[in-house]
């Protein structure tokens, strides 16, 4: 196995910046590609080399023949796909290998297996991983779908067989709604994934969404880095991620970790990955999918374990063995990640755009901000609305929530609407503070949140203006002593 000395980052934004930083610490040179829309991206000049890909701004990160060609011409040894775009493309991973480039990620066969929701479900069932009752192969026939739904019993969920992220997913509570929902799911699946195949499963009402982070080397060694609770979601998209889960008991936690590690050993998995489960009210757990890439929420795991997941990905791709045994991994405290998006929660979460006019970021102990934003940056409209991730850490759950409230109060972005106020409302909600939430949390609580409330920064600005006016008034009246005036204020 050749050593990696130069990596092409086939991504953009905060994850590109994250990979560049990991490469610098490993003394590995980094190369980035960028679209015309990303010419002002802060990550672009941070890399050792950068190359534009002209034309359609989305295709710049999707047409892998051009990316591979650039990697070869710039003498890269490897390509890191980040997340999104090509990160879960078995075709791309294989093309890298065929061109003598190291793909920093799992084997193509595992990307292909877990990219197919039905095939992965069948494979996991064979090795005694618990799965939800439902179809064992994708279907496209609505009559067959109706029959299966009746056999399972309502409510059921329809899911795109070749996609994720909540696309092509519909929950059906009554038989009369099945046809409409089936057509809606298959049409959306065709639009986003090119295939209308779906599968049908028993729907678990308001479960907890728990995922296990695993790392595996090329020598059969597999460890877990604990769980993340991703239950707070909107339209099946994760909004907040937490580790450890304040609701999971130790017995269930250990069971899920053991299942995940044993499954990855059995399948010969390599690199990092995340095994995702639904856990119902009675603590029954069911496998739902496996993500064969680094997750958006990986920072919370890094903070409580001290493990740099991106660096470990690169080292494993270089042929290194895992640096530690399971017993050597220590878990400390609680971490919460808030996904910061350019969207308007008061207008059905419509995406927003504009120029960053004012940008004040939180800081202090236990606060991490993964973002590529800066004052004066103009948001491209061609990409996902995520601006970055605010991560907080404390020794206990109560401390983590308190730190989150303080950090979110300090976070201020002007120029377009964001979801920061939504996060502030969640962080001060009693159910959240008590660690009581499931996948239905946002649907149940959105109506009570004050999304139009002023931030503490806005109140500070008003107070600052009052102080300036007071100083002006004092000077205009030739008053020598300011002390009493400030006391009066």
- Predicted confidence at residue 344, as pLDDT, reads 96
Where does the pLDDT of residue 467 fall: very low under 50, low under 70, confident under 90, or very high at 90 and above?
Answer: confident
The 8 Å CB, 24+ separation contacts for 220-224 are 220/265, 220/268, 221/321, 221/322, 222/261, 222/264, 222/265, 222/269, 223/261, 223/322, 223/324, 223/325, 223/326, 223/329, 224/257, 224/260, 224/261, 224/326
Q: Is residue 482 classed as helix, strand or coil in its secondary structure?
A: coil
Give yes or no for residue 80 having a pLDDT over 50: yes
Distance (Å, whole) CA 169 – CA 159: 4
* Whether the Cβ atoms of residue 356 and residue 418 lie closer than 8 Å to each other: no
Residues with Cβ within 8 Å of 266's Cβ and at least 6 positions away in sequence, in order, are: 127
Q: Where are the beta strands (DSSP E) in 113-166?
A: 156-160
Residues linked to residue 32 through DSSP beta bridges, in sequence order? 9, 50
What is the DSSP pairing of strand 334-341 with strand 240-243? Answer: antiparallel
| CATH number of 6-104, picked from 3.40.50.2300, 4.10.520.10, 3.40.50.20, 3.40.50.2000 | 3.40.50.20
- Predicted confidence at residue 458, as pLDDT, reads 67
Q: Which range among 232-236, 277-281, 299-303, 485-489 shows the weakest confidence by mean pLDDT?
A: 485-489
Angle at 454 between CA 384 and CA 374, to 5 degrees: 40
Burial annotation 145-168 (CB, 10 A radius, 16+ → b, else e): beebbeebeeebbbbbbbbbeebb
Give yes or no for residue 94 having a pLDDT over 50: yes
Mean pLDDT over 42-68 rounds to 97
Fold identical between 133-202 and 208-448? no
- Predicted confidence at residue 129, as pLDDT, reads 96
What is the DSSP pairing of strand 170-172 with strand 156-160? Answer: antiparallel
Q: Domain coordinates of the chain in residue numbers?
A: 6-104, 133-202, 208-448, 456-488
* Residue 91 tokens, joined: 């075709």
- For the chain, first and last CA: distance in Å? 70
* Whether the Cβ atoms of residue 309 and residue 215 lie closer than 8 Å to each other: yes
Helix H, strand E, coil C: the string for 369-402 is EEECCCCCCECCCCCCCEEEEEEEEECCHHHHHH
Q: Which of 12, 170, 228, 293 is catalytic?
A: 293
Give yes or no for residue 486 having a pLDDT over 50: no
Give yes or no for residue 87 having a pLDDT over 90: yes
| pLDDT-above-70 percentage for the chain | 95
Helix H, strand E, coil C: the string for 92-119 is HHHHHHHCCCEECCCCHHHHHHHHCHHH
| pLDDT-above-90 percentage for the chain | 84
Where does the pLDDT of residue 478 fall: very low under 50, low under 70, confident under 90, or very high at 90 and above?
Answer: low
What is the DSSP pairing of strand 222-229 with strand 102-103? Answer: unpaired
* Residue 12 tokens, joined: 């953009």
What would the pLDDT profile of 242-252 be if each residue is shown by its tens digit?
Answer: 999 998 999 99
Mean pLDDT over 25-32 rounds to 98
- Predicted confidence at residue 165, as pLDDT, reads 67
Could you say which architecture CATH assigns to the domain 208-448?
Answer: 2-Layer Sandwich (3.30)
In terms of residues, how long is the chain? 489
Where does the pLDDT of residue 489 fall: very low under 50, low under 70, confident under 90, or very high at 90 and above?
Answer: very low
* Whether the Cβ atoms of residue 369 and residue 390 lie closer than 8 Å to each other: yes
Q: Average pLDDT, whole number, for the chain? A: 93
Q: Which fold has domain 133-202?
A: Dna Ligase; domain 1 (3.30.1490)
Active site residue 406: no
Give the C-alpha distances (Å, rounded to integers) separating 334 from 111, 374, 399, 428: 31, 28, 8, 17
What is the DSSP pairing of strand 358-360 with strand 412-414? Answer: antiparallel
Give yes or no for residue 480 having a pLDDT over 60: no
What would the pLDDT profile of 357-412 be if each residue is shown by its tens digit?
Answer: 999 999 999 999 999 999 999 999 999 999 999 999 999 999 999 999 999 999 99
Report the candidate in 349, 359, 369 with the shortest Cα–Cα distance to residue 417. 349
- Predicted confidence at residue 150, as pLDDT, reads 94
What would the pLDDT profile of 186-228 be if each residue is shown by its tens digit?
Answer: 999 998 888 899 989 999 988 999 999 999 999 999 999 999 9
Q: What is the CA radius of gyration of the chain?
A: 24
Give yes or no for residue 354 having a pLDDT over 70: yes
Where does the pLDDT of residue 469 fall: very low under 50, low under 70, confident under 90, or very high at 90 and above?
Answer: confident
Where does the pLDDT of residue 479 fall: very low under 50, low under 70, confident under 90, or very high at 90 and above?
Answer: low
Most confident of 15-19, 152-156, 436-440: 15-19
Read out DSSP for 199-224?
A: EEEEPPSS-EEEEEEEEE-TTS-EEE
Q: Is residue 159 classed as helix, strand or coil in its secondary structure?
A: strand
Q: What is the DSSP letter of 31?
A: E
Report the candidate in 333, 350, 332 with the shortest Cα–Cα distance to residue 341. 350
Give yes or no for residue 318 having a pLDDT over 80: yes
Mean pLDDT over 262-267 rounds to 98
What would the pLDDT profile of 129-166 be if each residue is shown by its tens digit?
Answer: 999 888 888 888 999 999 999 999 999 999 898 877 67
- Predicted confidence at residue 488, as pLDDT, reads 41
């Amino acid at each position: 196995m050749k050593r990696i000395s130069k990596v092409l980052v086939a991504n953009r934004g905060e994850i590109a910046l994250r990979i560049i930083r990991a490469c610098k610490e490993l003394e590995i040179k980094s190369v980035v590609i960028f679209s015309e829309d990303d010419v002002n991206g802060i990550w672009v000049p941070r890399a050792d080399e950068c190359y534009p890909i002209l034309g359609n701004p989305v295709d710049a990160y999707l047409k892998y023949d051009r990316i591979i060609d650039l990697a070869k011409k710039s003498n890269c040894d490897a390509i890191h796909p980040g997340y999104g775009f090509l990160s879960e493309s078995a075709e791309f991973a294989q093309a890298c290998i065929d061109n003598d480039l190291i793909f920093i990620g799992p084997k193509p066969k595992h990307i292909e297996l877990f990219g197919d929701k039905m095939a992965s479900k069948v494979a996991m069932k064979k090795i005694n991983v618990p799965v939800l009752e439902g179809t064992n192969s994708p279907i496209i026939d609505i009559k067959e779908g109706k029959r299966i739904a009746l056999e399972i019993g309502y409510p059921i969920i329809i899911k795109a067989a070749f996609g994720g992220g909540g696309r092509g997913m519909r929950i059906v509570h009554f038989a009369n709604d099945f046809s409409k929902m089936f057509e809606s799911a298959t049409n959306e699946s065709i639009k986003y994934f090119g295939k209308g195949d779906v599968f049908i499963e028993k729907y678990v009402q308001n479960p907890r969404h728990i995922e296990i982070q695993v790392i595996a080397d090329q020598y059969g060694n597999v460890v877990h880095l604990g769980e993340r609770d991703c239950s707070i979601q909107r339209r099946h998209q994760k909004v907040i991620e937490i580790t450890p889960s304040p609701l999971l008991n130790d017995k269930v936690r250990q069971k899920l970790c053991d299942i995940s590690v044993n499954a990855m050993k059995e399948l010969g998995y390599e690199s990092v990955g995340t095994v995702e489960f639904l856990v119902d009210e009675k603590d029954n757990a069911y496998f739902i999918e496996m993500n064969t890439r680094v997750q958006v929420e990986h920072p919370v795991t890094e903070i409580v374990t001290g493990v740099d997941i991106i660096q470990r990905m690169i080292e494993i791709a270089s042929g290194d063995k895992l640096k530690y045994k399971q017993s050597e991994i220590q878990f400390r405290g609680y971490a919460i990640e808030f996904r910061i998006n350019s969207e308007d929660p008061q207008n059905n979460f419509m995406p927003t755009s504009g120029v960053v006019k004012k940008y004040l970021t939180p800081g202090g102990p236990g606060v991490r901000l993964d973002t590529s934003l800066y004052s004066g940056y103009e948001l491209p409209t061609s990409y996902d609305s995520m601006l970055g991730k605010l991560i907080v850490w404390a020794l206990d759950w109560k401390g983590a929530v308190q730190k989150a409230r303080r950090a979110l109060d300090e976070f201020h972005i002007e120029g377009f609407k964001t979801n920061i106020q939504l996060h502030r409302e969640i962080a001060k909600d009693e159910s959240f503070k008590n660690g009581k939430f499931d996948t239905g949390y946002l649907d149940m609580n959105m109506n009570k949140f004050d999304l139009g409330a002023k931030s503490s920064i806005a109140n500070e600005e008003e107070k600052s203006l009052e102080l300036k006016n007071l100083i002006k008034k004092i000077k205009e009246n030739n008053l020598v002593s300011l002390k009493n005036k400030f006391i009066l204020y």
